[in-house]
């Protein structure tokens, strides 16, 4: 029965991975940017929340309501000021800029918050759980995280398929020039995509912070999770990303069941296997 | 009343002068056809009008307003829509979503989704299909519908009949009077000269980026058109030959 | 211009350059003299000077390899630390088997090539930007596998055997010479590779991959050669790091920080020029010495400089200097920027 429990915990974690990976997938789908600072942004959100909680004593949900929109605005600005400029100098430049951003963020965090490992205390909600038939216990926090992640993914999916701007995001990802031709200002469209990516990253970062500990150097390994979820699921498909996140979560969870040291390795190996035998991902993607 | 006025327009692709000092005027409600051999610069002209290729010199006025330097996405609001060469539908969007992208700028006018479906009745049945599943002629119709939903004053169509069966071409051209009747002016690029002569009020023949012949179809002889098209007896002024582009 | 015309014109340009190289004979003489002085340094300078220079040489070697990979092969990897780590652990393992550690350094390069063959098969399935993160994951896998091997110390690393019977001064000098040889070898390898047929096909590939493959340039083979050479160079560098520090720690040797260093050295120095990594490494090394007291602020500065260089100085300092002066130490044809760059 330990195995079934591991699968369920993995699925719940996978929802969070998917939420976290969505921004990476969206930015790549729409702008062909691989944001190497993706993981560090989540860690920045974690630290920001930590500072707000301990500095102001505000309840967590208010912190969340403040942080997520703030990150959306930051995302829009980052794209307009930094990334847009790099887009015109070719793919290498975007990679270098986001990599540089990653180094800057990590080391600023290190200077400001030191290298200590932190967690955000989610109170009784963070540690509480309910029992499902004796051997399976589901944490309130991981269930809430999972549900919230699914809700956000569904909302993004609705935005992309039902609104004019959302359609234009997908259209730009297919063919930027023709999107311009029907009236899309690609800078604005890209800004929106980045804003959504940053907002989801912030949300995911807060949830990670309540579930597990973090320090300024946690970002890169988080980025790898997101990347693996995206590639396993299939580039440019939101549902693929959800599936990819869950596959990754379950794999890690099962790996940990065998030997805790295998957690990461199991995930990486599944990723490499997908790469080797099904490089288009489990769900061959349409678009972001 | 003049809708579009192009004067002395030059557009480069790198070193190559693809459009070379071209001037032309277009009256409101007119159908103008641009003809010319492959590489004559027709697509470049249309792309420059839509704002995709920035001109090197010259000017473009639409309804008296200078739009020479306006980016493509702003020209949509000014009333220009292009059906690009090769249709360029968004392949991961459905037929209806493709059409709706045309309405992104919400320019007021007669064209709505319903009216486009009236124009192309097959479309509403297949509106949930993926655009990449359509045949060439169907894709061309969707591309035209998408452009119409922008409610343009000036509709630019590049290579309307390229790669389509003649019967499909005829069917698409049948809707042209309806489009113009609704108040849209059309500038079409057509390789099929006789087709162009049939549908257009006026034709311009391009040769190496320059207009070498223009007039009403009924005023032009087949020989004149043929000579202009292939540049026979059309001694180009020495020294103005375009730079090699291969 | 058709691709075959382009290739022939490139070949012509290469001829041109080799003629122009006659005028750079002077710079060859200067470089030779510099190498001679550097080689003689252990006899005249204090060991702390030569020990520091070992770091510089390692940086030059690593950056040259990354430049070969990304600047000429178009393979933007963030996972070369895989080979630094494998090289370092090879030296440890060979030394445990009784091989003289200095002799184990070239063997480490060979080991890395052996690992790089199957790895490239996997990594080359990812195109463009995703190649970067994919190679990174592969490096992580190697780290996670290595820490599971108890005979090389597991997660806590291991010391290097077979060095205690060497006199400390001699050891310092030997390490210095091996590091210098490594730096020179990587530069020479880049130069020779790029001057030959491979260089020509790489330049065609970089400009237009599909066109190049359609005229029979074997794109994959050219890229694979570059990848293997780069793995060998990074492996040897990992070996030198080990003989210099006398131990290895898995988290440090497989750290993505190495990629950060390589990338920033190359970007600041000038990507796509053999001279770029040299210049970049010297600047980076200078910054490192200068800002050593400021802790991680120096990495913040480094990141910011790298970002600025990527945005405003896409051809790096060497590109800037070359535009101003036309100077070229290693003429291998010219650098043509990407079509939309
Ligand atoms: N993107 C481009 N880059 C370089 N040259 C181009 C490009 N597009 C077109 N050309 C050149 O410009 C000239 C005009 O092309 P185009 O406008 O497409 O002609 P047409 O549509 O009349 O066939 C041709 O010589 C063509 O080779
Ligand atoms: Mg054309």
d(CA C113, CA C339): 33
Which residues have their alpha-adjacent CB atom under 5 A from ion ligand 2?
A: B 43, 85
Residue percentage of chain A with pLDDT more than 90: 63
pLDDT in tens, A13-33: 999 999 999 999 999 888 888
pLDDT in tens, B139-152: 999 999 999 999 99
Q: How far is CA B172 from CA B129, B138, B175, C317, in A?
A: 20, 10, 6, 57
d(CA B46, CA B84): 8
Q: What pLDDT, on a 0 to 100 scale, did the predictor assign at position A288? A: 37
Task: Say if residue A253's pLDDT is above 90.
Answer: yes
Mean pLDDT (chain B, rounded): 89
Task: Say if residue B34's pLDDT is above 90.
Answer: yes
Name the E strands within chain C.
158-159, 247-248
- Residue B145 Cβ < 6 Å to ligand 1: no
Residue A253, min C-alpha distance to chain B (Å): 35
Size of interface A-C (CB pairs under 8 A): 128
pLDDT in tens, B64-122: 999 999 999 999 999 999 999 988 999 989 999 999 999 999 899 899 999 999 989 89
Residue A120 domain flag: no
What CATH number did the domain enclosing C93 receive?
A: 1.10.3470
SS3 percent helix, strand, coil of chain A, rounded to 5, is 80, 5, 20
CA atoms within 13 A of residue B156's CA, in its CB half-sphere? 25
CA of B209, closest atom in ligand 1? 14
Residue A130 domain flag: no
Contacts of A235 in chain C (CB under 8 A): 130
Residue C11 domain flag: no
Task: Say if residue A84's pLDDT is above 50.
Answer: yes
Residue A271 domain flag: yes
Q: Are C287 and C301 in contact (CB under 8 A)?
A: yes
Supply the residue whose CA is at minimum distance from atom 4 of ligand 1.
Answer: B13
Q: What pLDDT, on a 0 to 100 scale, did the predictor assign at position C213? A: 60
Torsion on CA atoms C179, C181, C183, C187, rounded to nearest 10: -170
Mean pLDDT (chain A, rounded): 90
Q: Phi and psi at residue B65, in whole multiples of 5°?
A: -100, 135
ipTM: 0.88
Q: What pLDDT, on a 0 to 100 scale, did the predictor assign at position C337? A: 39
Across the interface, whether the CB atoms of A86 and C311 are under 8 A apart is answered: yes
Per-residue pLDDT of chain C (341 residues; tens, 9 = 90+): 444 444 444 444 444 444 344 446 777 777 888 888 887 777 777 777 778 899 999 999 999 999 999 988 888 899 999 999 999 999 999 999 999 999 999 999 999 999 999 999 988 887 666 788 889 999 999 999 999 998 888 888 888 888 888 888 888 889 999 999 999 999 999 988 888 777 777 777 666 665 656 666 677 788 899 999 999 999 999 999 999 999 999 999 999 989 989 998 999 999 888 889 999 999 999 988 888 788 788 889 989 998 998 888 888 888 888 888 777 777 665 443 333 33
What CATH number did the domain enclosing A235 receive?
A: 1.10.3470
Tokens (6 digits) for A274: 């997908």
Please enumerate in sequence order all residues whose Cβ is within 8 A of that of C160, keeping only pairs 6 or more positions apart, or say none.
Answer: C91, C92, C95, C101, C242, C243, C246, C247, C248
CA torsion through residues A214, A219, A221, A223, sign: positive
Residue A131 domain flag: no
d(CA A77, CA A195): 8
Question: Vertex A68, ends A62 and A70: CA angle to 5°?
Answer: 100
* Beta carbons within 10 angstroms of residue B15's beta carbon: 9
Q: What pLDDT, on a 0 to 100 scale, did the predictor assign at position A121? A: 80
Q: Is the pTM of this model over 0.95?
A: no
DSSP 8-state assignment for residue A118 = B
Residue C9 domain flag: no
Please enumerate in sequence order all residues whose Cβ is within 8 A of that of A201, keeping only pairs 6 or more positions apart, or say none.
Answer: A20, A23, A38, A41, A42, A45, A71
- Residue B131 Cβ < 6 Å to ligand 1: no
Residue A206 domain flag: yes
Residue C3 domain flag: no
Residue A29 domain flag: yes
Q: Phi and psi at residue C12, in whole multiples of 5°?
A: -60, -40
Q: Residue C164 is part of which domain span? A: 19-332
Tokens 């330990």 sit at which residue?
A2
Q: Of the candidates A181, A186, A286, which has its C-beta nearest B50's C-beta? A: A181
d(CA C144, CA A46): 26
Residue C339 domain flag: no
Question: Which residues lie across from C245 on neighbouring strands?
Answer: none
Tokens 């002024």 sit at which residue?
B237
pLDDT in tens, B165-211: 888 888 888 888 888 888 899 999 988 888 888 889 999 999 999 99
Across the interface, whether the CB atoms of A275 and C125 are under 8 A apart is answered: yes
d(CA B105, CA B88): 19
Please enumerate in sequence order all residues whose Cβ is within 8 A of that of B32, keeping only pairs 6 or more positions apart, or say none.
Answer: B24, B26, B186, B187, B188, B200, B201, B202, B203, B204
Q: What pLDDT, on a 0 to 100 scale, did the predictor assign at position A277? A: 85
Burial class (CB in 10 A: 0-12, 13-18, 19+), A107: buried
CA torsion through residues B11, B16, B19, B20, sign: positive
Q: How far is CA B9 from CA B20, B27, B156, in A?
A: 7, 18, 17
Q: How far away, in angstroms, is B38 Cα from ligand 2 center?
A: 7
Residue A154 domain flag: yes
d(CA A254, CA C134): 23
Residue C199 domain flag: yes
What's the domain count of chain A?
A: 1
d(CA C273, CA C282): 15
Please enumerate in sequence order all residues whose Cβ is within 8 A of that of A59, keeping only pairs 6 or more positions apart, or say none.
Answer: none
Across the interface, whether the CB atoms of A170 and B90 are under 8 A apart is answered: yes
Q: What pLDDT, on a 0 to 100 scale, did the predictor assign at position A225? A: 93
Question: Which residues lie across from B33 on neighbouring strands?
Answer: B188, B203
Q: What pLDDT, on a 0 to 100 scale, did the predictor assign at position C94? A: 95
Residue C60: which H helix or E strand, with range? helix C47-66
Q: How far away, in angstroms, is B18 Cα from ligand 1 center?
A: 6
Supply the residue whose CA is at minimum distance from atom 16 of ligand 1.
Answer: B41
Q: What pLDDT, on a 0 to 100 scale, did the predictor assign at position C281? A: 95
d(CA A172, CA A28): 12
Name the E strands within A179-284.
none
Q: At what angle do helices A2-31 and A219-233 cross, to 10 degrees?
A: 90
Tokens (6 digits) for C20: 């122009």
Question: Which residues lie across from A118 on neighbouring strands?
Answer: A214
Across the interface, whether the CB atoms of B50 and A178 are under 8 A apart is answered: no
d(CA B246, CA A190): 36
Please enumerate in sequence order all residues whose Cβ is within 8 A of that of C32, keeping only pairs 6 or more positions apart, or say none.
Answer: none
Question: Which residues lie across from C159 on neighbouring strands?
Answer: C247
Q: How far is CA A9 from CA A146, A243, A250, in A?
A: 10, 15, 7
Contact partners of C by the rule of 3+ C-beta pairs under 8 A? A
Q: Residue A174 is part of which domain span? A: 2-115+136-277
Task: Say if residue B162's pLDDT is above 90.
Answer: no
Output B172 or A178, whichever has higher pLDDT: A178
Residue C120 domain flag: yes
pLDDT in tens, A32-76: 888 999 999 999 999 999 999 888 888 888 999 999 999 999 999
d(CA B215, CA B224): 11
Q: How many residues does chain C have?
A: 341
Contacts of B105 in chain A (CB under 8 A): 182-183
Question: Which residues lie across from B17 on neighbouring strands?
Answer: B12
Q: What pLDDT, on a 0 to 100 scale, did the predictor assign at position C215? A: 60
Of the candidates B172, B152, B154, B155, the residue with the CA atom closest to the CA atom of residue B163: B172
Residue A180 domain flag: yes
Torsion on CA atoms B33, B38, B39, B43, rounded to nearest 10: 40
Q: Phi and psi at residue B49, in whole multiples of 5°?
A: -65, -35
What's the domain count of chain C?
A: 1
Residue C313 domain flag: yes
Q: Are A279 and C130 in contact (CB under 8 A)?
A: no
Three-class SS of residue B22? strand
Q: Are A245 and A233 in contact (CB under 8 A)?
A: yes
């Amino acid at each position: 029965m330990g195995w079934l429990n591991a699968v369920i915990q993995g699925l719940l974690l996978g929802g969070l991975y998917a939420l976290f990976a969505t921004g990476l997938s969206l930015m790549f789908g729409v702008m062909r940017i691989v944001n190497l600072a993706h993981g560090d942004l989540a860690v920045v959100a974690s630290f920001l929340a930590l500072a707000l909680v301990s500095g102001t004593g505000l309840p967590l949900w208010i912190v969340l309501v403040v942080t997520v929109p703030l990150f959306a605005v930051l995302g829009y600005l980052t794209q307009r000021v930094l990334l847009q400029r790099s887009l015109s100098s070719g793919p290498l430049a975007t990679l270098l800029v986001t990599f540089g951003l990653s180094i800057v963020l990590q080391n600023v965090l290190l200077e400001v918050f030191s290298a200590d490992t932190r967690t955000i205390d989610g109170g009784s909600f963070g540690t509480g759980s309910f029992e499902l038939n004796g051997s399976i216990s589901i944490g309130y926090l991981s269930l809430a995280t999972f549900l919230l992640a699914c809700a956000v993914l569904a909302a993004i999916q609705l935005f992309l398929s039902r609104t004019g701007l959302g359609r234009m995001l997908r259209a730009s990802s297919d063919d930027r020039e023709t999107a311009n031709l029907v009236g899309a200002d690609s800078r604005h469209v890209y800004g929106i995509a980045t804003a959504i990516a940053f907002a989801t990253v912030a949300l995911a970062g807060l949830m990670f912070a309540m579930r597990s500990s973090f320090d300024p150097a946690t970002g890169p390994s988080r980025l790898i999770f997101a990347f693996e979820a995206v590639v396993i699921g299939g580039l440019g498909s939101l549902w693929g990303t959800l599936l990819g996140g869950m596959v990754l979560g379950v794999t890690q969870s099962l790996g940990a069941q065998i030997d805790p040291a295998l957690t990461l390795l199991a995930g990486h190996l599944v990723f490499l296997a997908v790469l080797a035998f099904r490089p288009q991902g489990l769900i061959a993607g349409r678009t972001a | 009343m003049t809708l579009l006025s192009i004067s002395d327009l030059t557009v480069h692709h790198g070193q190559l002068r693809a459009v070379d000092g071209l001037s032309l005027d277009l009256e409101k409600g007119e159908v103008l056809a641009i003809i010319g051999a492959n590489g004559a610069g027709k697509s470049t002209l249309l792309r420059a009008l839509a704002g995709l290729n920035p001109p090197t010199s010259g000017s473009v006025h639409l309804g008296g307003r200078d739009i020479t330097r306006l980016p493509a996405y702003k020209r949509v609001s000014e009333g220009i829509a292009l059906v690009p060469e090769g249709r360029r539908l968004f392949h991961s969007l459905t037929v209806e979503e493709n059409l709706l992208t045309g309405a992104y700028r919400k320019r007021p006018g007669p064209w709505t989704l319903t009216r486009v479906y009236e124009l192309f009745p097959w479309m509403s049945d297949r509106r949930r299909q993926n655009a990449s599943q359509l045949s060439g002629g169907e894709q061309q119709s969707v591309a035209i519908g998408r452009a119409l939903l922008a409610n343009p004053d000036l509709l630019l169509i590049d290579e309307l009949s390229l790669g389509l069966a003649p019967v499909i071409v005829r069917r698409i051209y049948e809707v042209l009077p309806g489009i113009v009747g609704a108040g849209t002016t059309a500038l079409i690029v057509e390789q099929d000269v006789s087709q162009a002569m049939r549908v257009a009020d006026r034709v311009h023949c391009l040769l190496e980026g320059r207009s070498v012949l223009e007039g009403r179809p009924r005023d032009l002889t087949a020989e004149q058109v043929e000579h202009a098209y292939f540049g026979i007896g059309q001694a180009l002024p020495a020294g103005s030959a375009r730079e090699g582009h291969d | 211009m058709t691709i075959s015309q382009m290739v022939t014109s490139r070949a012509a340009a290469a001829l041109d350059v080799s003629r122009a190289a006659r005028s750079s004979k002077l710079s060859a003489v200067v470089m030779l003299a510099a190498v001679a002085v550097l080689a003689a340094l252990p006899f005249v300078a204090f060991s702390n000077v030569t020990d520091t220079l070992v770091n510089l040489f390692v940086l030059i070697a690593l950056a040259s390899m990354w430049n070969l990979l990304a600047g000429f092969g178009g393979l933007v990897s963030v996972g070369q630390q895989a080979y630094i780590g494998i090289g370092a652990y090879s030296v440890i393992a060979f030394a445990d088997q009784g091989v003289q550690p200095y002799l184990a350094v070239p063997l480490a390069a060979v080991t890395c090539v052996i690992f790089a063959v199957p790895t490239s098969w996997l990594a080359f399935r990812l195109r463009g930007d995703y190649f970067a993160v994919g190679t990174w994951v592969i490096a992580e896998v190697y780290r996670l596998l290595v820490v599971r091997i108890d005979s090389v110390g597991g997660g806590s690393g291991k010391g290097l055997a077979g060095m205690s019977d060497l006199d400390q001064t001699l050891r310092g000098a030997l390490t210095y010479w091996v590091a210098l040889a490594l730096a020179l070898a990587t530069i020479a390898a880049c130069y020779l590779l790029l001057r030959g047929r491979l260089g020509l096909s790489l330049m065609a590939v970089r400009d237009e991959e599909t066109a190049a493959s359609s005229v029979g340039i074997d794109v994959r083979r050219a890229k694979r050669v570059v990848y293997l050479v780069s793995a060998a160079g990074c492996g040897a560098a990992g070996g030198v790091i080990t003989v210099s520090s006398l131990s290895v720690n898995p988290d440090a040797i497989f750290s993505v920080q190495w990629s950060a260093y390589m990338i920033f050295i190359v970007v600041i120095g000038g990507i796509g020029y053999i001279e770029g990594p040299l210049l970049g490494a010297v600047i980076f090394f200078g910054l490192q010495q200068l800002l050593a007291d400021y802790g991680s602020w120096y990495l913040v500065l480094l990141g910011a400089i790298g970002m600025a260089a990527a945005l405003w100085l896409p051809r790096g300092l060497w590109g800037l200097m070359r535009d101003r002066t036309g100077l070229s130490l290693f003429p291998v044809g010219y650098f043509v920027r990407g079509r939309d760059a």
